[in-house]
Amino acid sequence: MPHQDERLSISDVLVAKKRISGLVTNTPLRKSYWLSDISSAEVWMKLENLQVTGSFKYRGALNAMTFAKERGVAKVFTASAGNHALGIAEAARTTEREAHICLPKNVSPAKRQKLDRYSVAIVQHGEDIESTERFAERMAQEKKGVYISPYNNREVIAGQGTVGLEMYELIPKLSTLIVSVGGGGLAAGIGLVAKVINPKVRIVGVVAAASPTMKTAIQSGRIVPVMQQETIADGIAGNIDPETMTFPLLQEFVDEWVTIEERDIRQAVFDFLENEGMLIEGAAAAAVAAVSSRYINFKQRERVGVVVCGGNIARGQWRDIVGEALISAPGVR
Protein backbone atom coordinates (compact mmCIF):
# COMPACT_ATOMS: atom_id res chain seq x y z
CA MET A 1 0.00 0.00 0.00
CA PRO A 2 1.34 3.52 -0.81
CA HIS A 3 2.61 6.06 1.69
CA GLN A 4 -0.17 8.37 2.85
CA ASP A 5 2.03 11.44 2.46
CA GLU A 6 2.29 11.12 -1.34
CA ARG A 7 0.58 14.04 -3.01
CA LEU A 8 -2.96 13.23 -4.11
CA SER A 9 -3.77 14.45 -7.62
CA ILE A 10 -6.55 14.51 -10.19
CA SER A 11 -4.90 11.51 -11.86
CA ASP A 12 -5.69 9.43 -8.77
CA VAL A 13 -9.38 10.30 -9.19
CA LEU A 14 -9.29 9.43 -12.89
CA VAL A 15 -7.72 6.06 -12.06
CA ALA A 16 -10.43 5.51 -9.43
CA LYS A 17 -13.10 6.26 -12.01
CA LYS A 18 -11.73 3.51 -14.26
CA ARG A 19 -11.51 1.04 -11.36
CA ILE A 20 -15.08 1.48 -10.17
CA SER A 21 -16.80 2.16 -13.50
CA GLY A 22 -19.71 -0.17 -14.15
CA LEU A 23 -20.04 -1.13 -10.48
CA VAL A 24 -20.96 2.18 -8.87
CA THR A 25 -24.06 4.10 -9.96
CA ASN A 26 -23.57 7.34 -11.85
CA THR A 27 -26.24 8.95 -9.69
CA PRO A 28 -28.64 11.61 -11.01
CA LEU A 29 -27.77 15.29 -10.87
CA ARG A 30 -31.27 16.69 -10.58
CA LYS A 31 -32.44 20.30 -10.44
CA SER A 32 -34.33 21.20 -7.26
CA TYR A 33 -37.01 23.75 -8.00
CA TRP A 34 -37.77 23.90 -4.28
CA LEU A 35 -34.20 24.85 -3.28
CA SER A 36 -33.84 27.09 -6.32
CA ASP A 37 -36.93 29.07 -5.32
CA ILE A 38 -35.65 29.48 -1.76
CA SER A 39 -32.17 30.60 -2.76
CA SER A 40 -32.74 32.42 -6.10
CA ALA A 41 -29.86 30.28 -7.39
CA GLU A 42 -30.06 27.34 -9.78
CA VAL A 43 -29.61 24.42 -7.38
CA TRP A 44 -28.65 20.94 -8.57
CA MET A 45 -28.69 17.92 -6.27
CA LYS A 46 -26.21 15.06 -6.65
CA LEU A 47 -28.34 12.18 -5.38
CA GLU A 48 -25.84 9.85 -3.71
CA ASN A 49 -28.70 8.59 -1.57
CA LEU A 50 -29.45 6.50 -4.69
CA GLN A 51 -25.93 5.05 -4.76
CA VAL A 52 -25.24 1.33 -4.17
CA THR A 53 -25.51 0.73 -0.37
CA GLY A 54 -27.36 4.06 -0.02
CA SER A 55 -24.42 6.46 0.18
CA PHE A 56 -21.35 7.85 -1.61
CA LYS A 57 -19.13 5.72 0.63
CA TYR A 58 -19.30 2.78 -1.77
CA ARG A 59 -17.15 4.70 -4.25
CA GLY A 60 -14.14 5.09 -1.97
CA ALA A 61 -14.56 1.66 -0.42
CA LEU A 62 -14.65 -0.07 -3.80
CA ASN A 63 -11.64 1.85 -5.08
CA ALA A 64 -9.64 1.00 -1.95
CA MET A 65 -10.68 -2.65 -1.98
CA THR A 66 -9.89 -3.01 -5.68
CA PHE A 67 -6.50 -1.40 -5.07
CA ALA A 68 -5.92 -3.91 -2.25
CA LYS A 69 -6.85 -6.79 -4.56
CA GLU A 70 -4.43 -5.53 -7.22
CA ARG A 71 -1.65 -5.77 -4.63
CA GLY A 72 -2.60 -9.21 -3.37
CA VAL A 73 -4.06 -8.08 -0.03
CA ALA A 74 -6.52 -10.70 1.16
CA LYS A 75 -7.59 -9.40 4.57
CA VAL A 76 -8.98 -5.91 5.20
CA PHE A 77 -10.03 -4.19 8.42
CA THR A 78 -12.03 -1.02 8.85
CA ALA A 79 -14.04 1.03 11.32
CA SER A 80 -17.19 2.94 10.54
CA ALA A 81 -20.34 4.53 11.92
CA GLY A 82 -22.21 2.64 9.20
CA ASN A 83 -22.00 3.90 5.62
CA HIS A 84 -18.31 3.13 5.04
CA ALA A 85 -18.90 -0.29 6.60
CA LEU A 86 -21.67 -0.95 4.09
CA GLY A 87 -19.40 0.19 1.29
CA ILE A 88 -16.59 -2.11 2.41
CA ALA A 89 -19.00 -5.04 2.84
CA GLU A 90 -20.36 -4.65 -0.69
CA ALA A 91 -16.87 -4.09 -2.10
CA ALA A 92 -15.61 -7.20 -0.28
CA ARG A 93 -18.27 -9.23 -2.07
CA THR A 94 -17.34 -7.73 -5.44
CA THR A 95 -13.56 -8.06 -5.00
CA GLU A 96 -13.69 -11.36 -3.07
CA ARG A 97 -11.65 -10.00 -0.16
CA GLU A 98 -12.00 -10.93 3.51
CA ALA A 99 -13.44 -7.97 5.43
CA HIS A 100 -13.47 -7.35 9.20
CA ILE A 101 -15.66 -4.42 10.20
CA CYS A 102 -15.58 -2.67 13.57
CA LEU A 103 -18.62 -0.62 14.57
CA PRO A 104 -19.20 1.69 17.54
CA LYS A 105 -21.81 0.52 20.02
CA ASN A 106 -24.12 3.39 19.05
CA VAL A 107 -24.20 2.53 15.34
CA SER A 108 -27.42 3.43 13.50
CA PRO A 109 -29.91 0.52 13.65
CA ALA A 110 -30.78 1.06 9.96
CA LYS A 111 -27.15 0.73 8.91
CA ARG A 112 -26.51 -2.27 11.18
CA GLN A 113 -29.57 -4.05 9.79
CA LYS A 114 -28.32 -3.59 6.23
CA LEU A 115 -24.82 -4.72 7.23
CA ASP A 116 -26.15 -7.98 8.68
CA ARG A 117 -27.09 -9.07 5.16
CA TYR A 118 -23.42 -9.44 4.22
CA SER A 119 -20.98 -12.26 4.96
CA VAL A 120 -18.43 -10.14 6.79
CA ALA A 121 -16.94 -10.34 10.26
CA ILE A 122 -18.51 -7.68 12.51
CA VAL A 123 -17.25 -6.49 15.90
CA GLN A 124 -18.89 -3.74 17.94
CA HIS A 125 -16.38 -1.94 20.12
CA GLY A 126 -16.17 1.52 21.65
CA GLU A 127 -18.60 4.19 22.75
CA ASP A 128 -17.53 6.51 19.92
CA ILE A 129 -16.08 6.23 16.43
CA GLU A 130 -12.55 7.37 17.33
CA SER A 131 -12.07 4.52 19.82
CA THR A 132 -13.54 2.12 17.26
CA GLU A 133 -11.02 3.30 14.67
CA ARG A 134 -8.09 2.76 17.05
CA PHE A 135 -9.35 -0.74 17.84
CA ALA A 136 -9.68 -1.64 14.15
CA GLU A 137 -6.14 -0.42 13.44
CA ARG A 138 -4.79 -2.61 16.25
CA MET A 139 -6.70 -5.62 14.90
CA ALA A 140 -5.23 -5.08 11.44
CA GLN A 141 -1.69 -5.01 12.86
CA GLU A 142 -2.22 -8.06 15.06
CA LYS A 143 -3.85 -10.16 12.33
CA LYS A 144 -1.52 -9.00 9.53
CA GLY A 145 -4.18 -7.31 7.48
CA VAL A 146 -4.59 -3.86 5.96
CA TYR A 147 -6.60 -1.10 7.63
CA ILE A 148 -8.77 1.08 5.36
CA SER A 149 -9.82 4.29 7.07
CA PRO A 150 -13.22 5.78 6.19
CA TYR A 151 -11.45 9.03 5.23
CA ASN A 152 -7.68 8.94 5.91
CA ASN A 153 -6.81 6.88 2.85
CA ARG A 154 -5.68 7.93 -0.63
CA GLU A 155 -7.84 5.50 -2.56
CA VAL A 156 -10.91 6.27 -0.45
CA ILE A 157 -10.53 10.01 -1.10
CA ALA A 158 -9.88 9.44 -4.81
CA GLY A 159 -13.00 7.28 -5.05
CA GLN A 160 -15.11 9.96 -3.40
CA GLY A 161 -13.68 12.47 -5.87
CA THR A 162 -15.54 10.71 -8.69
CA VAL A 163 -18.70 12.41 -7.37
CA GLY A 164 -17.16 15.72 -8.46
CA LEU A 165 -16.17 14.38 -11.86
CA GLU A 166 -19.73 13.28 -12.56
CA MET A 167 -21.17 16.61 -11.46
CA TYR A 168 -18.90 18.63 -13.75
CA GLU A 169 -19.48 16.31 -16.69
CA LEU A 170 -23.14 17.35 -16.62
CA ILE A 171 -22.96 20.95 -15.34
CA PRO A 172 -19.54 22.40 -16.26
CA LYS A 173 -20.37 25.87 -14.89
CA LEU A 174 -21.12 24.96 -11.27
CA SER A 175 -19.83 27.90 -9.22
CA THR A 176 -20.59 26.73 -5.66
CA LEU A 177 -20.48 23.20 -4.22
CA ILE A 178 -21.97 22.36 -0.83
CA VAL A 179 -20.63 19.26 0.91
CA SER A 180 -21.22 17.81 4.38
CA VAL A 181 -17.98 17.15 6.27
CA GLY A 182 -17.13 14.57 8.90
CA GLY A 183 -13.68 13.07 8.41
CA GLY A 184 -13.48 15.02 5.17
CA GLY A 185 -12.92 12.32 2.55
CA LEU A 186 -15.83 13.45 0.38
CA ALA A 187 -15.05 17.17 0.55
CA ALA A 188 -11.34 16.52 -0.07
CA GLY A 189 -12.00 14.39 -3.15
CA ILE A 190 -14.62 16.72 -4.60
CA GLY A 191 -12.56 19.80 -3.73
CA LEU A 192 -9.51 18.39 -5.52
CA VAL A 193 -11.51 17.76 -8.69
CA ALA A 194 -13.46 21.02 -8.60
CA LYS A 195 -10.44 23.27 -8.05
CA VAL A 196 -8.63 21.69 -11.02
CA ILE A 197 -11.64 22.15 -13.30
CA ASN A 198 -12.60 25.60 -11.98
CA PRO A 199 -10.07 27.25 -9.65
CA LYS A 200 -12.63 29.96 -8.83
CA VAL A 201 -15.28 27.52 -7.57
CA ARG A 202 -16.54 28.13 -4.02
CA ILE A 203 -16.47 25.02 -1.83
CA VAL A 204 -18.68 25.23 1.27
CA GLY A 205 -18.05 22.70 4.02
CA VAL A 206 -21.01 21.88 6.25
CA VAL A 207 -20.76 20.53 9.80
CA ALA A 208 -23.38 19.76 12.44
CA ALA A 209 -23.48 22.08 15.46
CA ALA A 210 -23.41 19.00 17.67
CA SER A 211 -20.13 17.83 16.10
CA PRO A 212 -18.21 20.65 14.37
CA THR A 213 -14.96 18.68 14.41
CA MET A 214 -13.34 19.61 11.10
CA LYS A 215 -14.45 23.24 11.15
CA THR A 216 -12.93 23.60 14.63
CA ALA A 217 -9.72 22.02 13.39
CA ILE A 218 -9.46 24.40 10.44
CA GLN A 219 -10.07 27.39 12.71
CA SER A 220 -7.52 26.12 15.25
CA GLY A 221 -4.88 25.26 12.66
CA ARG A 222 -4.72 21.68 13.95
CA ILE A 223 -7.04 18.82 14.80
CA VAL A 224 -8.23 19.07 18.39
CA PRO A 225 -10.73 16.95 20.34
CA VAL A 226 -14.23 18.42 20.25
CA MET A 227 -17.00 17.80 22.74
CA GLN A 228 -19.59 15.69 20.95
CA GLN A 229 -23.34 15.95 21.37
CA GLU A 230 -26.05 13.69 20.02
CA THR A 231 -27.03 14.39 16.42
CA ILE A 232 -29.17 12.82 13.75
CA ALA A 233 -26.26 13.53 11.39
CA ASP A 234 -24.30 10.53 12.70
CA GLY A 235 -22.47 10.12 9.38
CA ILE A 236 -20.54 13.37 9.97
CA ALA A 237 -20.20 13.09 13.75
CA GLY A 238 -17.26 12.17 15.94
CA ASN A 239 -13.64 13.14 16.50
CA ILE A 240 -11.11 12.19 13.85
CA ASP A 241 -7.56 10.92 13.38
CA PRO A 242 -5.22 13.78 14.35
CA GLU A 243 -2.90 12.76 11.48
CA THR A 244 -5.57 12.55 8.77
CA MET A 245 -4.46 13.56 5.29
CA THR A 246 -7.84 15.19 4.71
CA PHE A 247 -6.96 18.11 7.00
CA PRO A 248 -4.39 19.87 4.76
CA LEU A 249 -6.55 19.13 1.72
CA LEU A 250 -9.55 20.84 3.28
CA GLN A 251 -7.37 23.74 4.41
CA GLU A 252 -6.54 24.20 0.74
CA PHE A 253 -9.87 23.47 -0.93
CA VAL A 254 -12.72 24.58 1.36
CA ASP A 255 -13.47 28.29 1.07
CA GLU A 256 -16.30 28.64 3.62
CA TRP A 257 -17.62 26.71 6.59
CA VAL A 258 -21.15 26.69 7.96
CA THR A 259 -22.47 25.08 11.12
CA ILE A 260 -26.01 23.73 10.94
CA GLU A 261 -28.23 23.57 14.00
CA GLU A 262 -29.92 20.28 14.83
CA ARG A 263 -33.44 21.65 14.37
CA ASP A 264 -32.59 22.70 10.81
CA ILE A 265 -31.11 19.30 9.97
CA ARG A 266 -34.27 17.58 11.20
CA GLN A 267 -36.47 20.04 9.33
CA ALA A 268 -34.50 19.42 6.14
CA VAL A 269 -35.17 15.66 6.38
CA PHE A 270 -38.91 16.37 6.44
CA ASP A 271 -38.79 19.11 3.80
CA PHE A 272 -36.76 16.93 1.42
CA LEU A 273 -39.30 14.15 1.73
CA GLU A 274 -42.15 16.59 1.18
CA ASN A 275 -40.58 18.43 -1.77
CA GLU A 276 -38.34 15.83 -3.44
CA GLY A 277 -40.15 12.62 -2.46
CA MET A 278 -37.15 10.90 -0.86
CA LEU A 279 -35.96 10.10 2.64
CA ILE A 280 -32.39 11.18 3.33
CA GLU A 281 -30.16 10.72 6.34
CA GLY A 282 -29.03 13.47 8.67
CA ALA A 283 -25.59 13.95 7.12
CA ALA A 284 -27.19 14.63 3.74
CA ALA A 285 -29.87 16.84 5.30
CA ALA A 286 -27.14 19.05 6.79
CA ALA A 287 -25.98 20.05 3.28
CA VAL A 288 -29.57 20.54 2.15
CA ALA A 289 -30.31 22.68 5.24
CA ALA A 290 -27.43 24.97 4.36
CA VAL A 291 -29.63 26.08 1.45
CA SER A 292 -33.17 25.50 2.72
CA SER A 293 -32.53 27.34 6.02
CA ARG A 294 -30.60 30.12 4.25
CA TYR A 295 -27.20 29.69 5.86
CA ILE A 296 -25.45 30.67 2.61
CA ASN A 297 -25.77 33.68 0.33
CA PHE A 298 -25.81 33.11 -3.42
CA LYS A 299 -25.56 35.26 -6.52
CA GLN A 300 -28.75 35.50 -8.57
CA ARG A 301 -29.16 32.38 -10.72
CA GLU A 302 -25.65 31.04 -10.03
CA ARG A 303 -25.31 27.29 -10.50
CA VAL A 304 -25.01 25.49 -7.18
CA GLY A 305 -24.33 21.81 -6.53
CA VAL A 306 -25.52 20.18 -3.30
CA VAL A 307 -24.20 16.70 -2.54
CA VAL A 308 -27.01 14.63 -1.02
CA CYS A 309 -24.55 12.16 0.43
CA GLY A 310 -26.77 9.35 1.74
CA GLY A 311 -30.21 7.98 2.49
CA ASN A 312 -29.65 5.46 5.29
CA ILE A 313 -31.89 6.82 8.02
CA ALA A 314 -33.37 4.70 10.80
CA ARG A 315 -37.13 4.21 10.80
CA GLY A 316 -37.46 5.57 14.32
CA GLN A 317 -35.63 8.76 13.36
CA TRP A 318 -37.74 9.65 10.35
CA ARG A 319 -40.97 8.71 12.15
CA ASP A 320 -40.06 11.10 14.97
CA ILE A 321 -39.19 13.86 12.50
CA VAL A 322 -42.42 13.46 10.54
CA GLY A 323 -44.39 13.40 13.79
CA GLU A 324 -42.71 16.58 15.03
CA ALA A 325 -43.39 18.37 11.75
CA LEU A 326 -47.02 17.36 11.65
CA ILE A 327 -47.63 18.42 15.25
CA SER A 328 -46.08 21.84 14.64
CA ALA A 329 -47.94 22.37 11.34
CA PRO A 330 -50.70 25.03 11.35
CA GLY A 331 -54.11 23.56 12.09
CA VAL A 332 -52.74 20.29 13.51
CA ARG A 333 -53.53 19.44 17.13
Residues 51 and 61 reside in one and the same domain: no
Q: How many domains does the chain have?
A: 2
Q: Which of 147, 169, 186 is the last residue of a domain?
A: 147
Range of the domain at 93: 57-147
User: 29: Cβ–Cβ under 8 A, 6 or more apart, which residues?
Assistant: 44, 45, 46, 47, 166, 167, 170, 171, 305
Phi, psi of 206, deg, nearest 5: -115, 130
Identify whether residues 267 and 164 lie together within a single domain. Answer: yes
Reported for 43-46, long-range contacts at CB under 8 A and 24+ positions apart, including other chains, are 43/291, 43/304, 43/305, 43/306, 44/167, 44/171, 44/174, 44/303, 44/304, 44/305, 44/306, 45/276, 45/288, 45/305, 45/306, 45/308, 46/163, 46/166, 46/167, 46/305, 46/306, 46/307, 46/308
Tens of pLDDT, residue by residue, the chain (333 residues): 444 447 899 999 999 999 999 999 999 999 999 999 999 999 999 999 999 999 999 999 999 999 999 999 999 999 987 899 999 999 999 999 999 999 988 887 777 888 889 989 999 998 888 889 999 999 999 999 999 999 999 999 999 999 999 999 999 999 999 999 999 999 999 999 999 999 999 999 999 999 999 999 999 999 999 999 999 999 999 999 999 999 999 999 999 999 999 999 999 999 999 999 999 999 999 999 999 999 999 999 999 999 999 999 988 899 999 888 777 766 544
Q: Are residues 170 and 37 in the same domain?
A: yes
Determine how β-strand 202-208 pairs with β-strand 256-260: parallel
Are 261 and 221 found together in one domain? yes
> What pLDDT score does 324 carry?
85
Q: Is residue 259 part of a domain?
A: yes
Residues 167 and 267 in one domain: yes
Residue 73: CATH number of its domain: 3.40.50.1100
Same domain membership, residue 87 and residue 70: yes
Q: What is the pTM of this model?
A: 0.94
End-to-end Cα, the chain, rounded Å: 59
Asked if residue 232 and residue 158 are part of one domain, the reply reads yes
